[in-house]
Structures are given as C-alpha cells and as structure tokens.
C-alpha cells in the first residue's frame, strides 16, 4: 500500500505576542500532496504560508492538529520527517567556505543517505545540475545563479520523496526564476511530492497542479486551477484570489 506523502489535519499554530496577545498564524489547515504533484500554497505576505511549511519541516511545533510526511508525524518523529524532506527557501543559504561538492556530500551524509552510495550520488547530482565547472570552487566565489543551482542540488542531495519550496523565486531574476521552475517541473516528473508556496499568481498558474488559497492563516479554497475558476466564475487566478480574500474579509468584519 502506498502512503500519502504529505497530509495535514486541522494543523494550527498560535503565537503569543507580548503586545498583540494571542495570534492565530495558522488555523486548521488541511492539505494533502501526492507523488508527482505540485501543491501550491498561494497567499499574501503574512498569510501563514511560511509558518505552515515550517511546521511541516518540523522547525515549528504545531499548537494543535497533526501533519504527516511519508506517514511520519511531525511531532512524534521529526528526524524521520526531515529525512524524507528537502527544504528550500530564500533564507536557506549555503556555507560560503566549502565547495559545492563538499556541500552535497555533507548534506547527503547528515541526512542519512546510504554511505556507500554517497560519492556516486554526488557525482550524479553534479552532472544533472551541470555543476562540473565549479564543483570544486568555494561557494563564496560563485555567482547568484550558480549558488541557486547548488542550493537546489543540496535540497535533493539525499533523494527525498517530498520537497518543500518556500517562496523560492522571491529574490531571483527572471531567467533564474524560469530555470528554477523548470527544475521543479522536472522533479515532479520524477515522482516527487512538491509543496510550493508563492505570492506570485502567474507562477502558481503555470506550475501548480492544485492550489490552496491561504489567507489570515486559513485555507479558503483548494482545487485545480480549473476547479477554482469554475467555483468562482473568474478566469484569472488573480481575480479568483481577490474573490476569496475579499469574501473572507467581508465575513470577518
């Protein structure tokens, strides 16, 4: 039998803030993601995308609700979860003093990739992401585009079944962003379950198989782009988003 790679049930996160008191950053979120699928979390800044993904990557502990990655619960088996997970975000930088090859070796090793196969895996990654020409140059001397490629290679170094990309294109130029999207698409075709968060509508439109619209910590709607269009009667995702967000806003007030 096969497990669902990513599944959450009423996942919530409450922060205590000295000035604002209780803040519900994530409120009963239920999402799933299957192999070979890209699930997009679409929301404005501060909507709870990053918090949700951080809970999935076990950096944050859920206040309530549950989440499973490859059948492992995030609170009960955090290491198992991270073993099956590649996490990429604009703020996961590389170590400047080591080379790409050493970077890949380190992350494969520390993420418990079988020891005997590490060297072969590193060579394979270098070839696949065309890092040959600078595989032994220190990361600090690489250009932004090169670093980005190394960074993605780093994310998949231990060949995890689940990948999380948290606003990956935020700091990238157009060409690099395109290249990144291509790589993500390629990873989907390899059967990875991919969670992808963004606030850029066109990106979500192009890339995602299913989209969850998140606003003020709650998922307002989930479905394929067509399903969402149908449900709202709008064509452009932007309009769809404004429709939901605006509705919620009205209800709230």
Partner 1 sequence: MELRQIWTLYVHELRSALRERSIVVFSIIIPLVLYPGLLWAGLAAFSFVEGQAERIALEVGVHGLPDRHQSLLDTLDVADRLSAQEWVGSSEEGREEISRGGLDVLVEFVPPDDEGGALEHNFRLRITYHGARDRSRTAREAVESVVDSYREGWIDEARQELGVDAAVWADFRVIQDDLTTAEEGTRFLLGLMVPFLTLIVVALATFYPAIDATAGERERGTWETLMTVAAPRANVATAKYLYVATLGAVGGLLNMIALTLSLRWIFQPVLGAEGQDMIQGGIPLGAFPIIAAGTVLLGLFVAAGMLIFAVFARNFKEGQSMVTPFYIAVILPAIFLQSPDIEFTTALALAPVVNVALLIREAIMGSIPPLQSALTLGSMAVCVALSVVFAQWVMRREEVLVGSQRGGLGGFLRRRVRGRRREA
Closer by beta carbon to partner 1, 115 or else 250: 115
Asked if 61 touches partner 1 (CB under 8 A), the answer is: yes
Task: Report the distance separating Cα 221 and Cα 224, nearest Å.
Answer: 10
Binding residue for partner 1, selected from 9, 30, 73, 83, defined by CB under 8 A: 83
Binding residue for partner 1, selected from 6, 33, 41, 60, defined by CB under 8 A: 60
Binding residue for partner 1, selected from 57, 169, 197, 198, defined by CB under 8 A: 57
Contacts of partner 1 in 94-133 (CB under 8 A): 94-98, 102, 106-107, 109-112
Asked if 24 touches partner 1 (CB under 8 A), the answer is: no
Between the alpha carbon of residue 246 and those of residues 33, 175, 238, the distances in Å are 27, 33, 12
Residues 6+ apart with CB under 8 A from 127: none
The pair of structure tokens assigned to 19 is 């000035």
Alpha-carbon Rg for the chain in angstroms: 19
Asked if 52 touches partner 1 (CB under 8 A), the answer is: no
Task: Report the distance separating Cα 159 and Cα 105, nearest Å.
Answer: 12
| Number of residues forming the site for partner 1 (CB under 8 A) | 34
Asked if 250 touches partner 1 (CB under 8 A), the answer is: no
Strands 162-166 and 85-89, by their bridges, are: parallel
Between the alpha carbon of residue 65 and those of residues 37, 41, 73, 101, 211, the distances in Å are 23, 18, 11, 39, 21
Contacts of partner 1 in 201-220 (CB under 8 A): none
Binding residue for partner 1, selected from 36, 71, 78, 223, defined by CB under 8 A: 78
Question: Which residues make up the interface to partner 1 (CB under 8 A)?
Answer: 16, 18, 54, 57-61, 78-80, 82-83, 85, 87, 89, 91-98, 102, 106-107, 109-112, 138, 154, 158
């Amino acid at each position: 039998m096969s497990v669902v790679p990513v599944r959450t049930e009423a996942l919530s996160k409450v922060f205590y803030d000295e000035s604002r008191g209780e803040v519900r950053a994530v409120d009963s979120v239920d999402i799933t993601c299957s192999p070979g699928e890209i699930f997009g979390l679409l929301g404005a800044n501060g909507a709870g995308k990053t918090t949700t993904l951080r809970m999935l990557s076990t950096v944050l502990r859920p206040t309530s609700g549950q989440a499973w990655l490859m059948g492992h619960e995030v609170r009960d088996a955090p290491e198992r979860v991270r073993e099956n997970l590649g996490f990429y975000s604009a703020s996961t930088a590389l170590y400047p003093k080591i080379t790409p090859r050493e970077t890949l070796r380190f992350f494969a090793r520390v993420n418990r990739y079988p020891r005997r196969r590490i060297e072969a895996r590193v060579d394979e990654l270098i070839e696949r992401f065309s890092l040959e020409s600078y595989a032994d140059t220190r990361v600090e001397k690489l250009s932004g585009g090169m670093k980005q490629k190394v960074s993605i290679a780093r994310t998949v170094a231990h060949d995890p079944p689940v990948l999380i990309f948290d606003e990956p294109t935020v700091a990238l130029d157009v060409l690099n962003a395109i290249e990144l999207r291509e790589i993500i698409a390629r990873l989907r075709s390899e059967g990875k379950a991919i969670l992808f968060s963004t606030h850029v509508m066109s990106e979500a439109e192009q890339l995602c198989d299913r989209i969850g619209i998140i606003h003020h910590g709650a998922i307002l709607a989930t479905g394929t782009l067509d399903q969402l269009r149908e449900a709202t009667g709008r064509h452009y995702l932007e309009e769809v988003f404004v429709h939901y967000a605006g509705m919620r806003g009205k209800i709230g007030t």
